[in-house]
Amino acid sequence: MARLKSMMLALLMLSSLTAGCLKDDYSPPPSDEEVHPKGVFVTGPDGLPVDVAPLPLIFNFSDVGEDGPEPSIGVTSSGCIFFIAMEKVMRSCDHGETWEEVQYEPACSPTTSDPYGWVDPITDRIFNVQMIGLETSWICWSDDDGETWVGNPHDSGTTPINDHIKLATGPWTGSGYGIPGSITQEIIYETAVYYCYNKLAGIFCFTSFDGGATFEAGGQIFGLATTNGGLHGAITSAPDGTVYVTPRVETPTVIISKDNGLTWFERTMGTDVGTPYPRKNSEVATDTESNAYHVWTGPGGPNENGSFNGYNGEGIYMSRSTDSGDSWESDSIRISPIDIVSYAFPQIDAGDPGRIAITYLGSENSGELGQPNLDGAAWDGNAHYANSNVSYHLYVTYSLNALDANPVFHTMRASADPVQVGSICLNSGDCRDIGGSNRNLLDFNDLHIDSDGRVYIAFADGCTGECATGNNSQPEDSRSRRATMCYLGSGPSLYESVGILPEFS
C-alpha cells in the first residue's frame, strides 16, 4: 500500500489583515505568521500580498512505488489515475491507496526511454508513447482503463533526433484536416490525435484520423519552431479545437493551429519578462470557453525596489488570450509570490473561465540571492545554478478569477519536506555531479484535472528518506527520483458548478 500523507495548508479566515506594500524604500513584506499560515500566500498580479483570506485547500500525497522523472498523469471518467514515467504505466483506481503496473507486452513493446502519457478527456482513451532510439516511437493505447492495449510504431525517418515526444487530443474543427475526406482521408475517430517531437531541424507535428493508429498528415513546423533545436513543451487543445505548442525560446511564444494541424502561426508575449537560459518548458492551458493561459519562468522581481540582496530572483508569469490565441496581453502577470525566488517546471490546467491551477518547484531561500554559487558567481535565482543551501518544495497556485483585471492568486507550499536540495539541472549538457548528477528530475512534471475539476499532480521527489527528515541534508543526499502523486483532497473545484470538493472517504 502506498504511503499517503495529508497536509492542510489553509486555516480559518483571518480578519483585519493589511496588505503589504512597497514604497520608495524596499522593506520585506510581513512575515508568513503575521498574515497567513507559513507557506501560504495570497497575492495580486504583481506577486505582492493582498487582503484576501486563503482558499481552504487540502493536498494528499501518494508514493507510486517506482522511479518517475518526467511523469505524465491523467484520470479517466471512472476515477482511475494513470501515472506514466520510466517506461511504465502505473494505475490506481483507489486514489493512490494502491498502484499496479498495467502496461503489458507485446502491445506496448518495446519500451525504451522518454515515455509520455495522455488520457483523452472526451473518449477516455489512454495513450503511452515510447521513444525507440532516435528514429522511431511506439504508440500504444487502451480503451478499458488499462486492461488491454493495442499499439503501433511511428517512424519519424532517418534524420535524428526523435526526442521530446508529446501527444494530446482535441476536437475536430471542420476546417483543414478537420474536413472529412477533403484533405487526406476519412475521419474515423471522435477526436484528433496530435503527436509532436523535435529533430535537429525543428518541431515536427502530425495529426491522426484513426485515434493514434497512424499519423499520415503533418510534418515540420517552420518559422520560430526551427530554432533552439526544436525543443518544445506539451501540446494543448482547446474546446474549440485550437491547438497550442510551446517552443523553448527566449521570448515566450506559442505556436498555434486552428485547422487540426494543417497550418500553424506564431504569437509572442512576455516581451517585458522573457525566460532565462537554460530555458525549460512553458505551458498553455485552456478553459471551457477556450480562453488560453500561458505560463513560464521569468527573471526579476515585481519592481526595482522589490529585491533581495540586490537581486530580484525569478517568478512564474502568465499571459492571457480571450480570442483563441489570436492576441495576447503585452504586460505579463506574476502569478507567484515574491517570497518564492527560484523555480522549475511550471505546469497548468484550467476548468471554467478564470479558474486555473499551476504547480511548480520553488524555493523561498531569498537569503541566498547574491551569494556565490558553485561557479563563484552571484546567484540570481536560476535553479540550474543554485548553491548547496537552496532547497525546493512543491507549490500549487490557484486562481478563481484569473481573467479579472486584478486577479488573486492563492499559493500553497504543498510538500512538507523538500523535493530537491541544491540545484536542478535544466540543461542535459551542463549538469553538476555532486554525489551524483542533479539531472535526477529530468525536464518536467505534470498537472491535470479530472471531470470533477479536482487537481492531480505528478512529480519526481528528489529528496526522500533521510534526506527528507534530516536537518542538514546536502545536495548529494538529494538524488532520488521517486514517482509521487499530489492531488487536491478537499477544496474548490475548477468547475464552478461543482463547488467545494469533499475529501475522499
Q: What is the pLDDT of residues 448-470, one digit of tens each?
A: 999 999 999 999 999 999 999 98
Whether residue 29 lies inside any domain: the answer is no
Residues 264 and 315 in one domain: no
Whether residue 166 lies inside any domain: the answer is yes
CA dihedral 167, 168, 173, 174 (to 10 degrees): 50
From 251, 268, 285, give the residue that closes a domain. 268
What CA–CA distance (Å, rounded) separates 417 from 412?
A: 13
Residues 380 and 488 in one domain: yes
Residues 476 and 334 in one domain: yes
Residue 107 CA to its chain's centroid (Å): 28
Residues 362 and 419 in one domain: yes
Banded pLDDT at 135 (limits 50, 70, 90) = low
Specify whether the CB–CB gap between 465 and 482 falls below 8 A. Answer: no
Residues 254 and 318 in one domain: no
**Mean pLDDT rounded to a whole number for the chain:** 87
Q: Which of 20-24, 201-205, 358-362 has the lowest mean pLDDT?
A: 20-24
Whether residue 77 lies inside any domain: the answer is yes
Whether residue 220 lies inside any domain: the answer is yes
Specify whether the CB–CB gap between 69 and 54 falls below 8 A. Answer: no
From 243, 268, 293, give the residue that closes a domain. 268
Torsion sign across C-alpha atoms 339, 341, 344, 349: positive
Rg of the chain over all Cα atoms, to the nearest angstrom: 22
Q: Determine the average pLDDT of the residues in 120-139.
A: 85
Q: Which of 31-35, 170-174, 315-319, 443-447 has the lowest mean pLDDT?
A: 31-35
Residue 432 has pLDDT above 90, yes or no: no
Residue 411 has pLDDT above 60, yes or no: yes
DSSP at 339: T
Q: What is the pLDDT of residue 220?
A: 87
H/E element, 34: helix 32-35
Residue 287 has pLDDT above 80, yes or no: yes
What CA–CA distance (Å, rounded) separates 20 from 104?
A: 55
From 268, 292, 317, give the residue that closes a domain. 268
Whether residue 279 lies inside any domain: the answer is no
Banded pLDDT at 297 (limits 50, 70, 90) = very high
Q: What percent of the chain has pLDDT over 70?
A: 85
Residues 444 and 364 in one domain: yes
User: DSSP of 174-226, one letter per residue?
Assistant: SSGGGSTTTSSS---SSSEEEEEEEETTEEEEEEESSTTS---EEEEEPSGGG
Whether residue 282 lies inside any domain: the answer is no
Residue 6 has pLDDT above 70, yes or no: no
Residue 21 has pLDDT above 70, yes or no: no
Residues 357 and 480 in one domain: yes
What CA–CA distance (Å, rounded) separates 479 from 11?
A: 34
Residue 76 has pLDDT above 90, yes or no: yes
Whether residue 243 lies inside any domain: the answer is yes
Q: Determine the average pLDDT of the residues in 244-270.
A: 94
Residues 350 and 486 in one domain: yes
* β-pair partners for 128: 117, 140
Q: What is the pLDDT of residue 162?
A: 62
Specify whether the CB–CB gap between 144 and 195 falls below 8 A. Answer: no
Tell me phi and psi for residue 455, to 5 degrees.
-85, 135
Q: Determine the average pLDDT of the residues in 324-341.
A: 95
Residues 493 and 374 in one domain: yes
Residue closest to 170 by CA, chosen among 334, 274, 290, 272: 290
Domain extent, residue 178, equals 113-120+129-268
What CA–CA distance (Å, rounded) separates 477 from 493?
A: 37
Q: Which of 1-15, 227-241, 424-438 has the lowest mean pLDDT?
A: 1-15
Cis status of the peptide bond prior to 106, with omega within 30 of 0: yes
Whether residue 28 lies inside any domain: the answer is no
What CA–CA distance (Å, rounded) separates 346 from 270?
A: 16
Residues 82 and 221 in one domain: no
Q: What is the pLDDT of residue 374?
A: 82
What CA–CA distance (Å, rounded) separates 351 from 353?
A: 7
Number of domains in the chain: 2
Specify whether the CB–CB gap between 93 and 80 falls below 8 A. Answer: yes
Q: Determine the average pLDDT of the residues in 362-388.
A: 92
Q: What is the pLDDT of residue 110?
A: 62
